[in-house]
Chain A
Amino acid sequence: MLTVAVSIAMAMLVAALLLSLWRLLRGPAITDRILALDTLYIDTIALLVLFGIGQDTPLYFEAALLIALMGFISTVALCKYLLRGDIIE
């Protein structure tokens, strides 16, 4: 039951990652690409949590937390660069 659900959810998340990757490559505006990167890291967090459940180990939780921190900071830095032309003024 759980293994089937994990497999189906993993397939759905991979489809979500591919759709975000298509938007990342296609554009058209630079903000679309940043939004696609943002979605990619969110989906990666979900995929890591799912992998942890599938492998029955809480070990991947720390990696998910680190990706959440770094992804938010990178999105803010990219937006700040677009808005002001500089990251730390």
Chain B
Amino acid sequence: MIEILVSLFLLIGAGFALIGSLGLARWPDFFMRLHGPTKATTLGVGGMLIASSLHFSHRLDGISLHEVLITLFLFVTAPVSAHLLAKAALHLRVRSVSSLPEATDGTGR
């Protein structure tokens, strides 16, 4: 029973990682490509770590919770790195399919 659940979570995680990288390879411009790998981070690695936690809770004595450390760290850092990448791309004026938003002067207008 646990084995089926672990296999299911493994396949879900690997599927999301594959879809994220497929998006990275196939989409036409950088701002679209940024979308794929962030999903691979949260859902792909998240599924893997749920599977690992279930598996080692089943195999070893006690509950195995140290996987939560990686999940928590990745959930905190993934938006930060995506934000910094988008900021760097806007700064470098990377080619985009749609036009970039107008630059504001910082007063909110």
Where the two chains meet, the residues of B that have a C-beta atom closer than 8 Å to any C-beta of A are: 3-4, 6-7, 10-11, 13-15, 17-18, 20-22, 24-25, 30, 33-34, 37, 40-41, 44-45, 48-49, 51-52, 55-56, 59-60, 64, 66-67, 69-70, 73-74, 77, 80-81, 84-85, 87-89, 91-92, 94-95
Give how many A-B residue pairs fall within 8 Å (CB-CB).
161
**Any chain B CB within 8 A of the CB of A88?**
no
Residues A68-82 near B (CB distance < 8 A): 68-69, 72, 75-76, 79-80, 82
* Residue numbers in A under 8 Å from B6 (CB-CB): 2, 5, 53
How many angstroms from the CA of A34 to the CA of B34 in the assembled complex?
11
Main secondary structure of the interface of A (DSSP, over half): helix
Complex CA gap A18/B89 in Å reads: 24
Chain B residues positioned under 8 Å from A35 (CB to CB) = 24, 30, 33-34, 37, 85
Residue of B nearest to A17 (CB): B21
Known: A5-B6, A76-B80. A31 touches B73 (CB 8 A): no
